[in-house]
């Protein structure tokens, strides 16, 4: 039976059948099963369609292969069109068999091997980071440290720091939105942890990218101003200051925006610590004459004028037909256009 199990020239169903028979006859020798799993991983034991690997994983996890180490045996399926025992384990059995206190170790294990998402063509493989993150948040997120949570939230970022949550966006965003203090704490960890890039700049925005688009708490801008006041370097202070300064003249929907007077008071209060704060304020509230926003503003105003002229002409054209619309004698073509306008919400 052991010879059949290890013989890569035999059909996978026969090998898995021999493995099941071996378990009944030998009483499931764990050391032998672990050795087969290891040799499959190294390639010494062939497993062309991952069926034997899947059967072994289902039997060995989590009692003999711990959650922290299980992803050492994960790989893109060799036959991507086959939904067999291997896919079954990673898609269903892994989550059902993991003990409640094992999900944190799952996340740590994935982070150890895959700190950033890489492009893969396999659909299930692409979803794995999102599944790991969601399970870790739901089962262990409230007990994880802020630094650990920051690492976990990086599971679904690509090498450029962009969010790559698959079909778990709503779950992750909702979990974060329900915990505004954790959002702030995690972001604070990231802001302090951000390292310079190749150009010597510190991409602080990557810290907020780990929030994956979750709705910020209403006091987010004021919290950032507090971070600016407490920052240990001017680059970080400026990054935290600018959102509130911009919002003072262009308020952000859903957030409490500081007034211009509050921003000016902040600059005055912290000018001794941050001598460049007055320049930051000038940069936020002014722009060169040839700035692209000026052209954009002119285009928007011109488009608004054209839209008002079009709306006025439409009203003038329709006004003579209002009586026929009210008494039902309007031409079918006019009734059709009115119905289309109503259906699509035209004004």
**Residue among 18, 211, 103 nearest 223 (CA):** 211
pLDDT for res 96: 96
| Residue 66 near residue 53 (C-beta atoms within 8 A) | no
* pTM, 2 dp: 0.76
Mean per-residue pLDDT over the chain, rounded:
89
DSSP string, 188-229: HHHHHHPPP-TTS---THHHHHTTTTPPPPTTHHHHHHHHHH
What is the length of the chain?
A: 347
Q: How would you write the pLDDT of the chain (347 residues) with one tens digit per residue? A: 888 888 888 888 999 999 999 999 888 899 999 999 999 999 999 999 999 999 999 999 999 999 999 999 998 888 877 889 999 999 999 999 999 999 999 999 998 887 666 666 666 777 889 999 999 999 999 999 999 999 999 988 887 778 888 778 899 999 999 999 999 999 999 999 888 888 888 889 999 999 999 999 999 999 999 999 999 999 999 999 999 999 999 999 999 999 999 999 999 999 999 999 999 999 999 876 565 566 676 787 788 888 888 888 888 888 888 888 888 888 888 888 788 777 766 65
């Amino acid at each position: 039976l052991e010879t059949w199990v290890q013989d890569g020239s035999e059909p996978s169903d026969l090998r898995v059948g021999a493995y099941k028979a071996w378990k009944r006859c030998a009483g499931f020798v764990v050391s032998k099963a672990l050795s087969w799993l290891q040799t499959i991983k190294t390639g010494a034991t062939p497993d062309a369609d991952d069926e034997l690997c899947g059967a072994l994983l289902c039997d060995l996890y989590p009692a003999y292969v711990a959650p922290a180490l299980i992803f050492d045996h994960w790989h893109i399926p060799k036959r991507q069109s086959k939904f067999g025992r291997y896919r079954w384990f990673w898609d269903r059995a892994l989550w059902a068999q993991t003990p409640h206190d094992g999900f944190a170790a799952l996340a740590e294990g994935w982070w150890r091997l895959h700190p950033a998402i890489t492009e893969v063509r396999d659909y299930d493989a692409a979803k794995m980071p999102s599944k790991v993150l969601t399970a870790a948040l739901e089962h262990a997120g409230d007990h994880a440290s802020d630094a650990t949570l920051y690492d976990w939230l990086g599971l679904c970022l690509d090498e450029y720091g962009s969010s790559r949550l698959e079909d778990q966006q709503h779950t992750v965003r909702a979990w974060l939105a329900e915990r505004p203090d954790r959002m702030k704490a995690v972001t604070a960890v990231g802001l302090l942890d951000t390292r310079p890039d190749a150009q010597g700049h510190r991409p602080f925005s990557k810290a907020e990218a780990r929030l994956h688009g979750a709705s910020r708490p209403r006091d987010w801008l004021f919290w950032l101003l507090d971070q600016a006041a407490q920052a240990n370097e001017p680059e970080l202070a400026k990054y935290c200051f600018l959102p509130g300064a911009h919002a003072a003249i262009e308020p952000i929907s859903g957030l409490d925006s500081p007034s211009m007077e509050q921003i000016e008071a902040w600059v005055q209060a912290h000018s001794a610590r941050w001598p460049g704060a007055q320049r930051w304020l000038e940069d936020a509230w002014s722009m060169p004459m040839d700035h692209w926003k000026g052209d954009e503003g002119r285009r928007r105003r011109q488009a608004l004028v054209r839209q008002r002229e079009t709306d006025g002409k439409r009203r003038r054209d329709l006004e003579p037909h209002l009586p026929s619309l009210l008494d039902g004698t309007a031409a079918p073509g006019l009734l059709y256009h009115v119905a289309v306008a109503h259906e699509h919400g035209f004004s």
